[in-house]
Amino acid sequence: MRAADALCEALKAEGVKHVFGIPGGASLPLYDAIYDADFEHVQVRHEQAAGHAAEGYAKASGRVGVAFATSGPGATNLITAIADAHMDSVPTVFITGQVRTDLIGTDGFQEADVTGITMPIVKHSFLVTDPAQIPDYIHKAFHIAKTGRPGPVLVDIPQDLSRMEIDYEPITGAPKLPGYQPNTEGNIKQIRIAAKAMANAKRPVLYAGGGVINADASEELRELAASDRFPVTCTLMGLGGFPAPHEQWLGMLGMHGTRSANYAMDEADLIVAIGARFDDRITGKLSEFAPRAKFVHIDIDPAEISKNVPAHIPIVGDVKKVLPKLTGEYRALAADTSRLDEWWRRIEGWREQYPLHYEETTDQEIKPQLMVEEMYRATNGDAIITSDVGQHQMWAAQYYHFAKPNRWLNSGGLGTMGFGLPAAIGAKVAMPDEQVVCLAGDGSLIMVCQEFATAAAHDLDIKVFLMNNGHFGMVRQWQELFWEERYQSVVMGPSPDWVKLAEAFGWTGILCDRKDDLAGSMKTALETDGPVLLDVRVTQNENCYPMIPAGAAARDMVG
Amino acid sequence: MADSGTKDILDLDDLRAEGGLTGRRHLLSLLVENRPGVLARIAGLFSRRGFNIDTLAVGPTEDPDISRVTLTVDGAVHPIDQVTKQLHKLVNVIKIRDMDPDTAVAREMALFRINAAADNRAEIIEFTQIFRAHIVDVSRRSITVEVTGTTEKIDSFERMVRPHGLIEMARTGEVAIVRARPES
């Protein structure tokens, strides 16, 4: 069998139903094989979008996302998406064509050392040197991408090798990887010590991150929280891992988190970190982060434990396996729940004093926060929401109260503008029966607006709700607050006529610039078949609050 | 503390955080898959995480599919825990051993080309004998000496000959192996 056909067979054996990509010279043999393949190829308009679509596919479904690109510029266009998947631990496999083996190292046409370039941003990579390796490498790539701490794996295939004949035999079972054996169980002695620490804590907080989503452990997190009245906060990546409409929910923590969550972290005596990595957007000034707390840190990646914040009780394991054991051990202690009364009184005080708030307008001006609240109502809080990066992303995190996991797809670690639209395309391909809405920023959307064509061509029923404030809003906010209002390069105008632009691509375009029309236009957009862009003109100079200024401590929140 | 459900007290104040700096030099012995790019992955990891490699030696092992990488890292500057955990994340790294100086044998080899005019030639030959080193090349103006031993031994040989005019020096970096247990 031709090696390229064996590649497709190997992908089929891994259960691949969809891939995203763009063909090119070095991947011609691969695309010739895709012609006969059993999976669907979604042709995007820029390779970066192929990568983000694969991420959206993976984040919405939990399955491995796959993206194809050709050598050289095709592969380098994938870089942002690979880095994004690496930072947010997204299970993805990237397959790139490479120039012929006799051209490698000669600066051949469309040659780039993509395995070299991507080394710092992949979980692992394979450069095929013998076509017979392809089935084995694909099997290993999928295994590495989805097990342990998930992440991107790259397979680079030289053009001449993919045309050669090989004997294909499907590979199943655990691949032979002596240097890769993730520890998933969690040390039971450590878990017992953690349970005892929790039983002795008077001001505990459960701090959950994206690991809870990746591990499909939101049920297990809820069980642990319910074993006592433990207050719960989630990171941006963990939203939906614990239901937001819940009495033990403190809201998101971190730079634009709630005061309840950040003050609770600041005063806690025990913080149980669950699949979270103490990112600088969470800790603020590290030396003043949670100064009174001891830390239990549960993570599948041992290198995350004590990387930024030294752990007192480290537990390496899959949170889906560790949390039930911890819950069991904790329940067995039958701790006195009344010890938390005082802590809850303190938290209730913050909740009453510092709810999320914004100033409503009395005229027809639309506040961006209102737009998110209206979007929450219009979708019954149950859509898959993708977002770009910036103010709108933070407002979505604050005001769209995610109740379920895998509903909130955004770029957290890398903070990639332009993530939202291609991620929505990927999510819709993975979950065709779900409502998929991209909350876009106008600064972000224009970076990927060529992907309107992809959605139209594949007749994908996605909705883009554009929060149009005419600015790179978050940068404008920082220039206002920290750079003496010296506004440089943050105004988007003259912006395109978004309605016409959408229509030019075959979408339905709707404009909304009056508060009274907001609910109605959202309803119309959601009820209209096919892709729809809703251009919502919001307040231009609104700032996103509350906020921990960069390098400040949680208790110094402003706004 | 081992049984579940027991009510023994655990005072949060008694908990101590793990990790931190050890304050000494660490000799890490890595078994890695013998394939292209592995050294680049290790070197890249060190540079992007801001870790500094003091010495590095790479060579084959008794198994042709496996190479040994021996490197030294300053534990006074870098948290060794974090260094080894990051190295473990590399799929091609099979095993890492933080060699305990008491239970490992470590050796390094060095070549010194030293200024050797008529008036100091005898002294250099004398040092060579004291250090059980070998003269491997001689010219009218210089002597080249091969020294093998612990890092400290090579350091002191360097101190002895430097005043005579050290023209060139090449050191391999340490390699190490665990001592066999004494037969009981």
Sorted by where each starts, the structural domains of chain B and their CATH numbers stand as 22-99 (3.30.70.260), 107-178 (3.30.70.1150)
CA-to-CA distance for A468 and A85, rounded, in angstroms?
Answer: 27
- Partner-chain residue, chosen from A119, A127, A200, that has the shortest CB–CB distance to B44: A119
* Cβ neighbours of A314 in B, within 8 Å: 18
CA angle A16, A18, A20 (to 5 degrees): 125
Of B132, B108, B104, B27, the C-alpha closest to B69 is: B27
Cβ atoms within 10 A of the Cβ of A277, count?
Answer: 24
The chain A residue lying nearest B45, using CA atoms, is: A120
Q: Which two tokens stand for residue A326?
A: 């911890």
Task: Using the predicted structure, report yes or no on whether residue B2 has a pLDDT greater than 60.
Answer: no
In order along its 559 residues, chain A shows pLDDT tens digits of 999 999 999 999 999 999 999 999 999 999 999 999 999 999 999 999 999 999 999 999 999 999 999 999 999 999 999 999 999 999 999 999 999 999 999 999 999 999 999 999 999 999 999 999 999 999 999 999 999 999 999 999 999 999 999 999 988 888 999 999 998 999 999 999 999 999 999 999 999 999 999 999 999 999 999 999 999 999 999 999 999 989 999 999 999 999 999 999 999 999 999 999 999 999 999 999 999 999 999 999 999 999 999 999 999 999 999 999 999 999 999 999 999 999 999 999 999 999 999 999 999 999 999 999 999 999 999 999 999 999 999 999 999 999 999 999 999 999 999 999 999 999 999 999 999 999 999 999 999 999 999 999 999 999 999 999 999 999 999 999 999 999 999 999 889 999 999 999 999 999 999 999 999 999 999 999 999 999 999 999 999 999 999 889 999 999 8
Output DSSP code: residue A44. Answer: -
- Main-chain phi, psi angles of A491, to 5 degrees: -90, 130
Which two structure tokens, joined as six digits, stand for A101? 């083996």
How distant is the Cα of B50 from the closest Cα of chain A, in angstroms? 13
Interstrand relation of A532-537 and A204-208 (parallel, antiparallel or unpaired): unpaired
Put simply, the answer to whether B12 touches A201 (Cβ < 8 Å) is yes
Contact between A136 and A164 under an 8 Å Cβ cutoff? The reply is no
Find the radius of gyration of the CA atoms of chain A.
24
Contacts of A67 (CB under 8 A, 6+ apart): A19, A20, A21, A47, A50, A51, A53, A54, A78, A81, A92, A93, A94, A95
Cis amide prior to A310 (ω within 30 degrees): no
* Cα distance between residue A152 and residue A65, in whole Å: 9
Peptide bond before residue A494 is cis, with ω within 30 degrees of 0: yes
Domains with residue ranges and CATH for chain A = 3-162 (3.40.50.970), 188-353 (3.40.50.1220), 368-537 (3.40.50.970)
- To the nearest whole angstrom, how far is the Cα of A270 from the nearest Cα of chain B? 8
**Radius of gyration in angstroms for the set of CA atoms belonging to chain B, rounded to a whole number:** 22
**Which residues on chain A are in Cβ contact (under 8 Å) with B10?**
193, 196-197, 199-200
Distance of CA A437 to the CA centre of its chain: 15
Classify A401 in phi/psi space as left (phi over 0), alpha (psi -120 to 50) or beta.
beta
Please judge whether B82 and A303 are an interchain contact, meaning their C-beta atoms are less than 8 angstroms apart: yes
- Check if B85 contacts A (Cβ < 8 Å): yes
Q: Under a CB-based contact definition with an 8 Å cutoff, are residues A140 and A171 in contact?
A: no
Q: In what order do the strands lie in the sheet with A124-127?
A: A40-43, A18-21, A65-69, A92-98, A152-158, A124-127
Q: Are B53 and B71 in contact, with CB atoms under 8 Å apart?
A: yes
Question: Which element (helix H / strand E) includes A464?
Answer: strand A462-468
Which of A155, A301, A312, A339 has the most B C-beta neighbours within 10 Å, making it the best mutation to test the interface with B? A312
Q: What is the DSSP track for A162-190?
A: HTSB-------S----TT-----B--HHH
| Nearest-angstrom CA–CA distance, A533 and A398 | 23
For residue A189, list chain B residues with Cβ-Cβ distance below 8 A. Answer: 1-2
Q: What ipTM was predicted for this assembly?
A: 0.89
Of A129, A302, A312, the CB nearest to B17: A312
Contact flag B36-A127 (C-beta cutoff 8 Å): yes
- Continuous segment of H or E residues that includes residue A250: strand A249-252
B66 token code pair: 């496996």
Longest dimension (CA), chain A: 73
